[in-house]
Chains A and B, each alone.
Chain A
C-alpha cells in the first residue's frame, strides 16, 4: 500500500544486484533494528528479556534446520545432537584453553558440529525421505550415547561441563576492562547480534550458486544431477552449513545455561526444532523466526492460562495446576502441530504472506 509493483526496470547490473529494490523493506529493517537493539533492551524488564534470549537462540537453530529441511529437502531429526556437539565443543575448548577468545570457541563449536553433521549426512547420498529421517534419528541417539559414554568429554553419564562466562569490554571502575556476562541484557546483545549475522548469512546463501543448488536438489534432484549440479556435494554442504548453525546455537545455549549437558539436547529438542520449522513455514527465514517464537512462547503462555483460568474458574491451587501443566503442554504441543499441518501446511510465513498480499493489492482483490 505504500508502493505498487509495476515491473523491474533496472538500468545497470549494480541496480539488479541491489538487495533492496524499493525503499520500504530497507526502512522496515532500519526500524526493526532500532527497536531490537535500542528500544527493547532499555525498556523491557529482566523476565521478558530472558524469554527473548531463548527465542533468539531457538530462532538461530531453526534457521539452520530450515536451510536443511526447507531449502534442501533433507529431513533431519538429529538437530539436537548437532547442537549438543557444538555446546560440548565450545565448553571443552574453554575448559582446556581458558584464555582462548570465547567467540572463536563459539565458532569452533560450530565447525565441530559441521564436521559431525557432514559425517552423518553421508547416508544422504543413497537414501532420502523417510529413510534419511530414520538415519538421522539414529545419529541423534548414537551421538547422545557417545557423549554419555566418553568421560573425558562429558564427565560420564549425566555429567555437565561448566562453561566460563563470555566477556565483553565495558567500563569497570572508570577504565576499560573485560567484564563477564552475568545479566540477561548482556546475553541479549550477544544473542541478537549473532542472530542478525546468522540471518544475513542465510539470506545471502540463497543469492549464490550454492543456495540455488540447494533449492534445485529439493525440487528435482535427479534433474539437478543431469544439469550438472553435484548432488552429493550439495547435500553435504547443506548438512554442514545447517550443523554449523546448530553448533553455534548449542554454544549459545551452553553460555545461557552456563553448563553443557546432553540432557538439554535430547530427541525432544530435535522434534521441537522440527516443529518450529514446520509451524513457521519451510523454505523461509521469517518462518523459522516465527516458528521459534511460537514454540518457545507456547509453554509460557500455557502456564499463564492454566494457572490463571484454572485458579479462577476451577479453584485449582498451585500444586494441582503444576501437575496438570506438563500434560496440557504435551497435549497442546502435539495438537497444535497436527492442527497446523492440517489447516496451513505452509506455516505461519504463508499466513503472513497472505495478509501482506491482501494489503499490498488493496483495494483490489488481486493485481
Chain B
C-alpha cells in the first residue's frame, strides 16, 4: 500500500517540476503567441551558468581563457544566473522574435528550433560538454513520514514551485505589467492603441520565461545533472503544455501534476508487464489522445477561425 502512495507522491512532485518548465512555454505563448521550442535549451543554459558559478572545473572557452569556474556558493550563483537569463531572454526577443512578428507559424517554429541548436552550441562552446552536478545545500537523508520514504529535495522543490506559481499568478492578475501582458495577448493592436509598449512587454515576458527556466534548471540540474541532455526536458514537457492549454497558467500546474502522476503510475503498473520504457511513452500517448479529442487542452482558449 505504501508503495502506491509513494508512487503517487513521487509522481506529483516530479509533476511540479514539469509544471515549472511548462510555465516558461505558457508565459511566452501567452505574451507573444509563439511556442518556444528552445525553452528546454533555456533551462539547460541556466543550469550551465549556475554550475559555472558554483563549481571550479569546466572546459570550453572560459576554461581556455583561464577561468574554469568561480566556486562561489549558491546564494551568489542564483542572482548571477538570474541576470544572465534575463539578458538572454531580452537578447533573443530583440534579435530574433522582433523579425518574426506576423510571419506564418511554420517560420516561427523553425526559427525557435534554430535558436535551440544555436543555444546548445553556444553553451557547449562556453562551458564545455562534460556532465556536472549542481549540489544544493539540502540535507540528503530521506524523510520518513510514518512508513513513507520521501526525498527532501523533491519536497522543497515542490514547495518552491508552488510559491513561484503563486508569484507568477499574482503578477499576471494584479500587477500593472501582468495586466499589460494579458492585454497584449488578447489583442495586440488595441493594446498599442491604449499606449502599452508592446516591444517592452515582449522583452519582459521573455525575461520572465528565462527566470522560470532558471528555477527549473536548479532542481533538474540537481536531480539529473547539467549537460546537453537537460535540454530534452523541453521535449518532455510538451505533453504538459498541450494538456493544460497553451495559454493557461493554471492549466500548466494541473497538467504538470497529471502528467507526472500518469508517468509514475504507468512506470509502477505497466513496466512489469511490458518490460520497461512506458515512462517515456505515456506522456506522448496522453498528448495524442488530448489532441484528438480536445485540442485546446483542459484550460486553453479555443481558437475560432473565420473565413
Contact = CB atoms under 8 A, between A and B. Distances in A.
Contacts of B277: 145, 148-149
Given A137-B235, A327-B124, A327-B125, A337 B291 contact: no
A282 B307 CA distance: 24
Contacts of B284: 138, 141-142, 145
A345 B35 CA distance: 18
Nearest to B41: A334
A135 interface: yes
A267 B287 CA distance: 17
Contacts of A1: none
A126 B295 contact: yes
A222 B118 contact: no
A327 B123 CA distance: 9
Residue among A73, A123, A145, A338 facing the most chain B CB atoms (10 A cut-off): A338
A76 B287 CA distance: 16
Secondary structure of the B side of the interface?
helix
Interface string A103-132: 000000000000000000011001101110
A286 interface: no
Interface in B81-111: 96, 99-100, 103, 105-107, 109-111
B118 A330 contact: yes
A75 B305 contact: no
Interface residues of B, number: 42
B166 interface: no
B145 interface: no
B120 A275 contact: no
A220 interface: yes
Contacts of B220: none
Contact of B291 (A135, A334, A335): A135
Nearest to A129: B105
A75 B121 contact: no
A130 B105 contact: yes
A367 interface: no
A338 B96 contact: yes
Secondary structure of the A side of the interface?
helix
B281 A145 contact: yes
B291 A331 contact: no
Interface in B209-257: 235, 238-239, 242, 246
Nearest to A320: B64
A334 B121 contact: yes
B267 interface: no
Interface residues of A, number: 48
A39 B113 CA distance: 39
Interface in A239-284: 267, 271, 274-275, 278, 282
A229 B211 CA distance: 48
Contacts of B124: 326-327, 330
A142 B278 CA distance: 11
A331 B119 CA distance: 7
Contact of A338 (B115, B235, B239, B280): B115
Nearest to A329: B121
B122 interface: yes
Interface in A285-326: 324, 326
Contacts of B291: 123, 126-127, 131, 134-135, 138
B99 A334 contact: no
Interface string A126-168: 1101110111011101100100110000000000000000000
Contacts of B114: 275, 333-338, 341
A341 B235 contact: no
25 contacts: A126-B295, A127-B295, A131-B291, A131-B295, A133-B35, A135-B288, A135-B291, A142-B285, A145-B280, A145-B284, A148-B277, A222-B307, A267-B235, A278-B110, A282-B106, A329-B121, A330-B124, A331-B118, A333-B117, A333-B121, A334-B117, A335-B114, A335-B118, A337-B114, A341-B100
Given A133-B109, A334-B114, 5 more contacts: A134-B242, A333-B118, A336-B114, A338-B118, A345-B103
Interface of A: 69, 73, 75, 122-123, 126-127, 129-131, 133-135, 137-139, 141-142, 145, 148-149, 220, 222-223, 226, 267, 271, 274-275, 278, 282, 324, 326-338, 341-342, 345
